[in-house]
Every structure is written in C-alpha cells, then in structure tokens.
C-alpha cells in the first residue's frame, strides 16, 4: 500500500509501526463477539483509520497468517555468522511463541 494514498481512497493510507501496535492492542480489547467491533477499533485508533480500513487490515492479517502457516512464505536467508542466536534468544522466541498461541 502506497504511503501517499489518501484516507478516503479505496486502498486507504499506509499503517505505521505504531498504528499496527495500536491495532494489535485493540484486537485484544475488542474480540470477535464485540458489537460494532470495527467501529470500536477505529475509535481506539484515535480516528486515524476508518472502520472499513481496520476491517480490511484485519482480513489482510488473517490472509498473511494463513500464508505463513501454509508454508508459502519463504524463510529469510541469514548469513552463517548471524545464524547463531545470542545467548537466551531461543528461550525468548519460545516464550513469545507461547504467548502468541494463547491468543489464537
């Protein structure tokens, strides 16, 4: 999505890292059983995104996860030097994975 796209365009505006984090938090607050979920999430975003934009963003997120889980996203190629994680990094990844699985 182009960063220059206007909020009213069919594709919407680009999402910043901060907005993505806000979006993740909003998804935790407003689950799928929440009435007017997309409007509530848009309001949580401080008006920077419309209800339609947050709904489309969620649908894209679901599609991305499906692609990853289906093995259709290639692993990045790292140099052999960076292939060895720093001390404790593997444990941190396992903890993050456990937390992620709790929210599915």
Residue 80 placed within a domain: yes
pLDDT of residue 74: 86
Counting residues of the chain whose pLDDT is more than 90, the rounded percentage is 51
Residue 6 placed within a domain: no
pLDDT of residue 1: 38
Is the Cα dihedral 57, 37, 41, 103 positive or negative? negative
pLDDT of residue 77: 81
Q: What integer best gives the mean pLDDT of the chain?
A: 78
Residue 70 placed within a domain: yes
Residue 4 placed within a domain: no
Residue 7 placed within a domain: no
Residue 74 placed within a domain: yes
Asked if 57 and 41 count as a contact pair (C-beta separation under 8 A), the reply is: no
pLDDT in tens, 50-91: 999 999 999 999 999 999 999 898 878 877 655 555 555 555
pLDDT of residue 2: 37
Q: Which residues contact 59 (CB under 8 A, 6 or more apart)?
A: none
Q: The tokens of 58 are what?
A: 């969620």
Residue 63 placed within a domain: yes
CATH number where 57 lies? 1.10.10.60
Residue 72 placed within a domain: yes
Q: Domain count for the chain, please give it.
A: 1
Asked if 34 and 40 count as a contact pair (C-beta separation under 8 A), the reply is: yes
Closest CA to 1 of 56, 71, 46: 56
CA 54 vs CA 3, 59, 73: distances in Å: 16, 9, 24
- Which residue range(s) make up the domain with 53? 17-102
């Amino acid at each position: 999505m182009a960063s220059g796209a206007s909020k009213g365009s069919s594709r919407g505006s680009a999402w910043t890292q901060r907005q993505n984090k806000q979006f993740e938090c909003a998804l935790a607050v407003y689950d799928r059983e929440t009435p007017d979920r997309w409007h509530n999430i848009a309001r949580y975003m401080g008006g920077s995104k419309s209800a339609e934009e947050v709904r489309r963003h969620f649908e894209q997120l679901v599609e991305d996860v499906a692609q990853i889980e289906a093995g259709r996203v290639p692993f990045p190629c790292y140099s052999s030097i960076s292939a060895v994680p720093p001390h404790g990094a593997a444990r941190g990844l396992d903890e993050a994975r456990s937390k992620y699985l709790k929210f599915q």
